[in-house]
């Protein structure tokens, strides 16, 4: 994916370690591309769970999918605030305008008041045993979990509200231009 992809609508798919589909997000617009990450913007994206359940996101969001780091981030824009949800996951791959990654369960949530909540540790331990994660995978996942927590504490990219508001404005501007054409 390169800069010519900006403004295109894509899908994201997360998988479990065994290759089974975990969750799919539709209607995500590419709003930035670099050598290190792909950024999407969205509002009311359709989400399909592995059990077939469908739901829609409630707020505008900016998602950052890293191509070399073992995590991705969803910045949910709520008025003047940003709430961050971070998935510890394999680096993202792009295949025919679909972003794909393996979800390793451990998650972190950063709130506007700078509080951080660690999520899904029991799920990680369960899947580590079920899917036979290697020692190398376990080491990487736990290292990234700690690294992301430190990035959150420092409010370092991608946990930078100013940058997320810039990105959501890019999303709205491109969407407005597209709506005027159609």
pLDDT tens digit sequence for 36-61: 999 999 998 999 999 999 999 999 99
- The CA distance from 86 to 101, in Å, is 13
Backbone torsion region of residue 34, taken as left when φ is above 0, otherwise alpha when ψ lies between -120 and 50, otherwise beta: beta
Q: What pLDDT is attached to residue 116?
A: 98
Quote the pLDDT of residue 139: 98
The whole-angstrom separation of Cα 182 and Cα 40 is: 21
Q: Does the pLDDT value for residue 135 go beyond 90?
A: yes
Q: What is the mean pLDDT of residues 85-98?
A: 96
23 in catalytic set: yes
Choose, from 11, 23, 53, 147, the residue flagged as catalytic.
23
pTM for the full predicted model: 0.95
**pLDDT attached to residue 180:** 87
pLDDT band at 181 (very low <50, low <70, confident <90, very high): confident
Residue appearing with tokens 């792009």: 94
- Between CA 23 and CA 21 the distance in angstroms is 6
Strands 9-15 and 98-110: parallel
Dihedral angle sign, alpha carbons of residues 35, 168, 52, 72? positive
pLDDT at 68 over 90: yes
Tokens at residue 180, please? Answer: 């005027």
State the average pLDDT over residues 15-29.
Answer: 96
- Mean of the pLDDT values across residues 1-13? 95
């Amino acid at each position: 994916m390169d800069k010519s992809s900006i403004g295109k609508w894509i899908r994201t798919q997360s998988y479990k370690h065994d290759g089974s589909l975990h969750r799919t997000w539709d209607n995500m617009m590419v709003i930035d591309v670099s050598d290190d990450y792909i950024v999407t913007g969205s509002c009311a994206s359709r989400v399909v769970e592995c059990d077939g359940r469908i739901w829609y996101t409630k707020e505008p969001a900016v998602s950052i999918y890293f191509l070399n780091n073992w995590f991705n981030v969803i910045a949910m824009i709520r008025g003047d605030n940003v709430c961050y949800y971070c998935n510890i996951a394999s680096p993202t791959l792009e295949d025919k305008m679909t972003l794909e990654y393996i979800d390793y369960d451990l998650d972190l949530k950063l709130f506007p008041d700078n509080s951080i909540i660690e999520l899904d540790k029991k799920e990680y331990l369960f899947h580590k045993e079920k899917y036979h994660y290697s020692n190398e995978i376990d080491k990487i996942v736990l290292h990234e979990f700690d690294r992301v927590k430190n990035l959150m504490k420092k409010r370092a990219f991608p946990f930078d509200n100013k940058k997320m508001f810039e990105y959501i404005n890019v999303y709205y501007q491109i969407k407005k231009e597209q709506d005027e054409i159609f």
